Amino acid sequence: MARVSYKVVITGVVQGVSFRASMREAALSHGVKGWVRNRDDGAVEALVHGEEEQVEMLLKWARVGPPGARVTSLRRQQLKDHPPQVGFRVLVQDWRRLPANR
């Protein structure tokens, strides 16, 4: 079976609802590798890599997300010649980039 890689952007109510942690669990259960992170614009972004059928199952899950999420769109861009990923990580925003409390 073919292996595929996608950059995915998911919009809607997707932050503050455990989307990243739930996506990591779903990815691991489907054998999909990559990472997921919150974006400053309120979206969630992910890189997913694996067997095409498994990746499609994960993306089907991501169109709904965990309880509390309201996904309004999922856009994906296929990546060519992307190196394989190891595991599935939740990337956390660098605390040094956060605005100081005032």
What residues are paired with 60 via a beta bridge? none
- Alpha carbon 57 to its chain's center: 13
Catalytic residues, which ones?
20, 38
Nearest to 19 by CA among 59, 62, 49: 62
CB contact set of 12 (below 8 Å; sequence gap of 6+)? 65, 69, 70, 71, 72, 73
